[in-house]
Amino acid sequence: MRKLRKRRTILIIAAAVGALLLLSGCGSFQTEKPPQGREASLEQSAEETASPHEALVLDADPSERDEAPETPRSTEVSTVPEEREERGEQEETPEYFIPHLETRYFLKNLSGQELKFCSLVYTSALDLSESVSVPAGMELSFEQADRLVSLVFYDCPELIMCSGGYSIHGAQYVSRVKLVYRMDEAEYKRQRAELEAVLSEYEAACAGLSDYDAELYVHDKICESCVYSTSSAYADSAYGALVSGSALCQGYTKAFQLVMQRLGYVCLFVSSEKMLHSWNLISLGGVYYQIDLTWDDSGDCVNYAYFNIDDERSAAFDHVYDMEEGLSYPACDSLALNYYILNGTYIGRETDLKAMLLAELDRMYASGGGEVELMFEDAEDLRRMIAEQGDWIKEWNADKYLTICFTRTIIEKNDHVYIARFEFSEE
């Protein structure tokens, strides 16, 4: 879903480049602030880090606890029947209740007491329980419990009531985990109802679509309905992006993850501490791709520079996520469903740049309008396009006498995107 402009012909050229410049208007030059979700995301405070969970407290000495030891919780996990009935979910195995488990990349590969413990954390969060009591006989080390709680937050973006903070307590083994919440029960129920309504709309809109078309719809819809913001109360949650319409990169990432999981796709949250940024991995037909909605949302339009790219291109953009120790991540080694590959607008090293540009101008002029995005394989070709496109456009316009206005955005820092928009009108 693209933001449309009437009586405008647009050529958008996207590629990897180097420093941030903005050139705009009919031969004039103008400096503007960077697009939303890019430079701003690098200025986040420590509280806005891309990690989905926060501080860990290890309380290994029971004598130092600020509360009396608790009686171990029953091995039967709360089934939260009223919520499951509303969502139409089955209760075949209450002890291991995590809905849509097949879409949770890390959790679906767990078994035994690890899966049971994650189910305890998940259902306790749904109950807004202050702590998770570990049943007798479940022997988990502090490091093991820390890893498992982290996996729950990585794989379950619907836990909007949680701040991501938690502490782990016990002696030789973990006895309980305390969760930190950001809202009370009434506020959670209100937000959950609003979120479920939006998710139902996505499900209806994507029914019957191919994997690619469903993903494209979700990508465009989120980018169009959300603006990058650091001030929203829930900017780091799926609720912020899907309901409030303002979010940090975490909010974009969790929103896409939540919707795609609800549609039945395996979708991961990944992040980079160096970049203070997060984005997604998505499985389509068993093939994994990287996708970054935050940086595909340039504010006034949607672009596709980070839509279904492979690990190699992501690394070329200096876009490398952190791998948590002990976890295995899927390789993204295909461009089969890359936006530009599928639309025939991927510009390889052998492309005749002048002929390509003139052909696109002919096509758009003949049809009375339109738009196209181009991804360059080689940044040198992009620089040549920038240097010579003015002469090529003058040559094309020699017998048409059109007024041609353009806006160019060059974002070299961290190898982002080059965009050129052209507007044509009769003199």
Q: Please give the Cα distance from 242 to 224 (Å, whole number).
A: 11
**Quick one: average pLDDT of 148-164?**
95
Provide the percentage of residues in the chain whose pLDDT is more than 70.
Answer: 71
Q: How confident is the model at residue 95 (pLDDT cuts 50, 70, 90)?
A: low
Q: How confident is the model at residue 393 (pLDDT cuts 50, 70, 90)?
A: confident
Q: Please give the Cα distance from 107 to 150 (Å, whole number).
A: 10
Residue 172 has pLDDT above 80, yes or no: yes
Output phi, psi for 373, to 5 deg.
Answer: -120, 140
Residue 3, CA distances (Å) to 10, 111, 256, 345, 357 in order: 12, 46, 19, 20, 23
Q: Which residue has the higher pLDDT, 50 or 159?
A: 159
Q: What is the CA radius of gyration of the chain?
A: 24
Provide the percentage of residues in the chain whose pLDDT is more than 90.
Answer: 50
The rounded mean pLDDT for the chain is 78
- Give me the helices (H) in 41-80, please: none
Q: Which of 40-54, 121-135, 402-416 has the highest mean pLDDT?
A: 121-135
pLDDT at 223: 96
Q: Please give the Cα distance from 183 to 203 (Å, whole number).
A: 27
Residue 62 has pLDDT above 90, yes or no: no
Q: Which residue has the higher pLDDT, 17 or 57?
A: 57
Residue 39, CA distances (Å) to 44, 92, 276, 357 in order: 10, 47, 11, 30
SS3 state of residue 89? coil
Token pair for 299: 């504010």
- Domains of the chain listed by start with CATH number: 9-35+340-426 (no CATH), 53-184 (no CATH), 186-333 (3.10.620.30)
Q: Please give the Cα distance from 305 to 345 (Å, whole number).
A: 12
Q: Which residue has the higher pLDDT, 347 or 221?
A: 221
Helix then strand count (H, E) for the chain reads 12, 16
pLDDT at 99: 94
Residue 303, CA distances (Å) to 130, 214, 276 in order: 43, 17, 21
Count Cα neighbours of 244 within 13 Å in the Cβ-side half-sphere.
Answer: 25
pLDDT at 332: 98
pLDDT at 279: 97
- Residue 160 CA, chain-centre distance (Å), reads 16
Query: What confidence tens digit (pLDDT) does each residue in 317-365 have?
Result: 888 999 988 899 999 999 999 998 898 888 888 888 899 888 888 887 7
Residue 217 has pLDDT above 80, yes or no: yes
**Quick one: average pLDDT of 131-138?**
92
Residue 19 has pLDDT above 80, yes or no: no
Q: Which residue has the higher pLDDT, 90 or 111?
A: 111
Q: Please give the Cα distance from 22 to 33 (Å, whole number).
A: 9
Burial 15-39 (b: 16+ CB within 10 A, else e): bbbbebbbbbeeeeeeeeebbbbbe
Q: How confident is the model at residue 409 (pLDDT cuts 50, 70, 90)?
A: low
